[in-house]
Copies of this chain bind each other. A is one copy, B any other.
Amino acid sequence: MIQCPRGTRDFLPDEMEKRRFYENKLRHTAGTFGFREVETPIFEDAELFILRSGPNVLKELYAFKDKGDREIALRPEMTAPAIRMFVNGMSNDPKPIKIFYFGQCFRYERPQSGRYREFFQFGAELIGSATPETDAEVISMAAAMIRNLGLKEYKIRIGHIGVLRQKIADAGVPKERAAEVLQKLDKKLYDEARPLLEDMNVDSDAIDDIFSLTETVGGVEVLDRVPGEAGDWLRQVVAYLNAMGVVDVEIDLGVVRGLDYYTGMVFEAEAPSLGAEKQICGGGSYTLSELFGGEKVFSTGFAIGFDRILLAMEKEGQVYEPKGIDAYVLSVSDDVRMKAAEIVAGLRAQGISADVDIMGRKMAKALKYASSIRARYAVIVGAKELAEGSVTLRDMTSGEQTLVPVDSLASVIRQ
């Protein structure tokens, strides 16, 4: 028996209905913030992702040569494609540009809880503006999305990559080796960061200072320890967030994010219920467009791991109830089957979700099926009732049956 490939999933009707429901909540929230949806191809030139993330990304890429010998790759994320699209086709649009996207991404890695080889991301980019308000706008949308999905326990942590970059530069880390150090600090691998820093002749006090900075967590007051522009910037971001009603954020100067292209504010959201793989959202301000052949343009964006946030909601006990259909039409005898077809078509034309027996089942079996597909009503078409222009409407929950004229069937069901 052929199965779906390892690390991928089929979504059956109940699961799919739930996913679309929450996907549309994200889409709706993005709409209220004035973000507009875009879509990019499932695969891109592999080069695009190497430019964004460095050659190491190849290890996890689904990369292959197409029949024209082009090196292409299934997208592992959607920020690079979105910015490529901006460079190709939107660079002259009035700024700021607010876009979002939702879709499959692919990473060849070991499947584990909440991690798949085909996974779903929601993301947004605000392109062409670099102000504290820009950062607040983006963080507030991420917060609204998490809140609107209904997740109860989450934490949003905001940092500034400039603070740590300045600190390690002041400590004597050469510019070209900064990324190495930041990657260790991103994962809080202090045991590995220390010999690395010692090797660069950073003295022990400075190292302790750097480590302590990455553990600086708390309210806006911790910014008192951060002199200069970065501290002022974050203070303003938090002030705007508070004005917009987003008060549940924390300053965390240990938020590093793994990648080189971030320029200022960085943030993450996590759901503690998920344990080790608790990050559900990450983003920040960056420039990427110049790597893809465009002008340098400041952007702020984020991505939400859709599978993980759904998992977190599940762990909190959130249950989605599938809707079922409005009506199931069945015939008492064969001579009314054409009439049943006419009735179901009439209901559908009026926007009612309706199904009809197509297997010639007897009433008891047909009602059992109607119940299995969660029909609210059964419409029982019989010759006797039809003679008077009526059908029997059965409430599938209560079992109550009433005679309803065919003409008013739709309006009764709609009530």
Chain A positions 363 through 407: 1 when the CB is less than 8 Å from some CB of chain B, otherwise 0: 000001100110000000000000000000000000000000000
- B-facing residues in A101-158 (Cβ within 8 Å): 104, 106, 108, 118, 126, 129, 131, 133-134, 136-137, 140, 144
Give chain B residues whose Cβ lies under 8 Å from the Cβ of A351. Answer: 28, 32
**Is A94 located at the chain interface by the 8 A CB criterion?**
yes
Q: Report the bound CA distance from A234 to B383 in whole Å.
A: 26
Contact B32 A348 (CB under 8 A): yes
Q: Is the interface of A mostly helix, strand, loop or mixed?
A: mixed
Bound Cα distance from A1 to B87, whole angstroms: 8
Decide yes or no whether A89 CB sits under 8 A from chain B.
Answer: yes
A148 CB → nearest B CB, Å: 10
Q: Given B12, B131, B245, which contacts A90 in the complex, CB threshold below 8 Å?
A: B12
A359 in the interface, Cβ–Cβ < 8 Å? yes
Residues on B with beta carbons closer than 8 Å to the beta carbon of A373: 34, 94
A362 at the interface (CB under 8 A from B): no
| Copies of this subunit | 2
Q: Is the CB of A355 within 8 A of B33?
A: yes
Q: How many angstroms from the CA of A339 to the CA of B2 in the assembled complex?
A: 59
Q: How many interface residues does chain A have, given as a range?
A: 35 or more
Least distance between A274 CB and chain B CB atoms (Å): 23
A36 contacts the other chain (Cβ, under 8 Å)? yes
A22: shortest Cβ distance to chain B, in Å? 14
CA distance A339 to B243 in the complex (A): 7
Given contacts A17-B36, A341-B136, contact A47 B2 (CB under 8 A): yes
Chain B minimum-CB-distance residue to A327? B34
A5 and B341: CB pair below 8 A? no
Complex Cα distance A244/B85, Å? 45
Binding site for B on A (CB under 8 A): 1-6, 8-13, 16-17, 19-20, 28, 31-34, 36-45, 47-48, 51, 62, 64-68, 70, 72, 74, 81, 84-85, 87-90, 94-96, 98-99, 104, 106, 108, 118, 126, 129, 131, 133-134, 136-137, 140, 144, 239-240, 243-246, 292-294, 325, 328, 337-339, 341-342, 344-345, 347-349, 351-356, 358-360, 368-369, 372-373
Show 19 A/B contacts (Cβ-Cβ < 8 Å), sorted by A. A2-B45, A2-B51, A4-B44, A11-B39, A16-B38, A17-B36, A20-B37, A32-B353, A42-B106, A42-B118, A94-B368, A133-B341, A134-B358, A136-B341, A144-B348, A240-B341, A243-B341, A244-B344, A245-B345
